[in-house]
Amino acid sequence: MADSIRNQILDAVIAALGAITAGATYNRTVNYVSEDLVHWEKLDKNKFDAAFPLDLSETDEQFALYSTATNDIKATLEIMVTYYIWSGVATTRQARGDAVRDVKKAILNDTTILGLVLDIRPMGTEPVVITDHYSVLEIRFEVDYLYDHTAGG
């Protein structure tokens, strides 16, 4: 059985985050991507910047009459990327802004994600931890996609 659309979207988000590398396109480099959230104080410093994408709440609504039609359910999925930054020399203010821009750019412009969804919207960013050397951010997105009721999403 093929992966669900939801899993395909999350796989594409993971791949997009893993492709963030400082250079012509991005300001930061993501050195570690995982769905297994590790506390920021326990993560090896060589794994920073780190990104942890998580699928959160999902709502569903009927999109078409249940019949032999495909893609008759419209789902809205919330995705949160928890992003860790560490700097041994300075505050992380500039790094926070760069990281938010890089994550949004990677996810909102990824052709694999865009091929799976109807729409994707940034929903905001919240700083969770800010110290002299560490920052933890939550960057949220909403994704609309269609699936067939017989497949369950």
pLDDT value at residue 32: 98
pLDDT tens over the chain, length 153 residues: 458 899 999 999 999 999 999 998 999 999 999 999 999 999 999 999 999 999 999 998 877 666 666 768 889 999 999 999 998 777 778 899 999 999 999 999 999 999 999 999 999 999 999 888 889 999 999 999 988 776 666
Write down the pTM of the prediction. 0.90
pLDDT of residue 1: 41
Give percent above pLDDT 90 in the chain: 71
What are the residue boundaries of the structural domains of the chain, listed by start? 5-147
Q: Helix, strand or coil for residue 31? A: coil
Class for domain 5-147, per CATH? alpha beta
Given strand 119-130, what is the order of strands in its sheet?
32-33, 50-62, 73-86, 134-147, 119-130
